[in-house]
Structure 1
């Protein structure tokens, strides 16, 4: 296994806001774009075309303000450590060279440096970050705690990203393509059944569900309930709300009563006369159970 590299003095030894420092560099070099190659281990794989065009327009007007960072791989060849967006935008404009810092870096540290640079600037989507973390863990045989120290992120943060890789490929693609955000995706992880995960995922896309609503569905499904039945119950409640209690069918009344019983975890009684008047009663067996039911009403007020 390759010798592990320690970042020494921490992130400050590598980063100033959004750029990797070049220890030992005393000047900026102008490097021909034709001699520069992208880093194949670059964590970011998706570049926003509109943002890239905006950057290109800026470079066309005022040039490249912040030099990119390269490492020399041969006499006539360089590889990007940081600044691939600036490199790509410069190509769009038609520049032939770009200002750059050139530093010495071992192969095993280049990806790590690129990852840190991008994460600090929040340029990666959640799946790219997760894959990069996983790659670093496996390549350098690190623990999550050791990786946490290297990239300056909490171990729990790293763990949350890695959990995304347990989701089906379709959901991971949805995260990558910004169809679903990380908060929604994380709520699907407790579902062990892939079919259930995909079913809720599709519902999120169709209905634009809130994270709280998804959590509610996931909790119910993990307790053995079916999403189809949950949706039917909610539909019955909506029918009652929109059409009025006296117009609801007996089946809808029963579904509403079942829904309320599950919600309060108590055997709710619902009665209604021909004029649409009635009452809902919630029995309780102890003061503790009464307090629990009251707390639910308190939460609903919020």
Structure 2
């Protein structure tokens, strides 16, 4: 507890520095910036606005109340992070749950790290820091990755370096955004897991995705059972194997072959296939012989 009190006392001193109009720090090169940027400062909650780039959109109310209870008893252990906008005006970069819980408790100040950043840097910091939290749902993480691609122009390789995740892991999260929106909501609400979503995503048709999603819910299917269900659906789309050919309904004996050979006056080759079809090959030795066979065929 003594350690926390010391931090708060230091923070209050720096807070007074920030409230002095003569110390309106806007960049790291300004006077006294080194005393503020990167330090823990007690900021008035009313001077902090929510970051419009905040990737989180869902907050579990029960978990928020539990955090508020912890803050009421122990205080805010982990400072939030803000960026300075103007004189005594700040924007939240990360720590929205802590800020919300502090408001529930009725705190008027909260410990905060001060950073100076432009909008793009603020967005990247907010996204990267929030991705690394353990309480984001898979869809929130996927959306954060997508925003890093769309708005910061990061490649998956660059994101891998920023957030400390394998590129394949990032790709798996991004693929979740191809799911039907209803299924994405199901993952966010905890009805199915990311593993279920990764199995369903192998189906392109959204109607089929939804059908399997409802079966997972109604039958309480495991991820492995879902994978088997998806495989069964995919197998049903493959062209059915040709039916086994029926056996021949008749046979050609030697006498019949001799009759054909005798008629054409040549050693005729007769071959039968397993489906009752076949072919007759009539050899000829000259143009004259060929014309003779033609006359026989024409009758």
- After TM superposition, the score normalised by the length of structure 1 is 0.64
Pick the aligned partner of 2:107 from 95, 99, 121: 95
Pick the aligned partner of 1:45 from 57, 62, 83: 57
Distance in 1 (alpha carbons) for counterparts of 2:38 and 2:72 = 27
Question: Does the 8 Å CA contact 1:43/1:111 hold for their aligned counterparts?
Answer: no
Q: How many angstroms does 1:193 deviate by?
A: 1.5
Q: How many angstroms does 1:26 deviate by?
A: 6.5
Gaps of 5+ in 1: 1-21, 227-302
Paired position in structure 2 for 1:60: 72
Matched, 1:113 2:131: no
Q: After superposition, give the CA deviation of every residue in 1:240-295 in whole Å (9 maximum; x if it has no partner).
A: xxxxxxxxxxxxxxxxxxxxxxxxxxxxxxxxxxxxxxxxxxxxxxxxxxxxxxxx
Matched, 1:79 2:91: yes
Q: How many angstroms does 1:140 deviate by?
A: 2.2
Distance in 1 (alpha carbons) for counterparts of 2:123 and 2:39 = 24
Q: Secondary structure at the match of 1:99?
A: strand
Q: Secondary structure at the match of 2:102?
A: helix
**RMSD between aligned alpha carbons?**
1.9
TM superposition outliers: structure 1 runs of 4+ over 6 Å: none
Paired position in structure 2 for 1:211: 223
Paired position in structure 1 for 2:192: 180
Distance in 1 (alpha carbons) for counterparts of 2:154 and 2:95 = 26
Larger Rg: 2
Q: Secondary structure at the match of 1:219?
A: helix
User: Where does 1:27-38 land on structure 2 (aligned, <5 Å)?
Assistant: 27-38=39-50
Distance in 2 (alpha carbons) for counterparts of 1:153 and 1:29 = 31
Paired position in structure 2 for 1:189: 201
Question: Does the 8 Å CA contact 2:156/2:170 hold for their aligned counterparts?
Answer: yes
Q: How many angstroms does 1:148 deviate by?
A: 1.3
Q: Secondary structure at the match of 1:162?
A: helix
Q: How many angstroms does 1:175 deviate by?
A: 0.7
Q: How many angstroms does 1:214 deviate by?
A: 1.1
Q: How many angstroms does 1:56 deviate by?
A: 1.0
Q: How many angstroms does 1:181 deviate by?
A: 0.6
Are residues 99 and 204 of structure 1, via their aligned partners in 2, closer, same or farther at CA, if it must alter by over 3 Å?
Answer: same
Q: How many angstroms does 1:27 deviate by?
A: 4.1
Q: After superposition, give the CA deviation of every residue in 1:130-180 in whole Å (9 maximum; x if it has no partner).
A: 111111101122221122122211110111011111111100111111111
Question: Does the 8 Å CA contact 1:27/1:101 hold for their aligned counterparts?
Answer: yes
User: Number of matched residues?
Assistant: 205
Question: Does the 8 Å CA contact 1:44/1:123 hold for their aligned counterparts?
Answer: no
Q: How many angstroms does 1:123 deviate by?
A: 2.3
Question: Does the 8 Å CA contact 1:43/1:124 hold for their aligned counterparts?
Answer: no
Gaps of 5+ in 2: 1-27, 239-299
Paired position in structure 1 for 2:235: 223
Q: How many angstroms does 1:225 deviate by?
A: 5.8
Paired position in structure 2 for 1:198: 210
Q: After superposition, give the CA deviation of every residue in 1:8-29 in whole Å (9 maximum; x if it has no partner).
A: xxxxxxxxxxxxxx99547422
Paired position in structure 1 for 2:173: 161
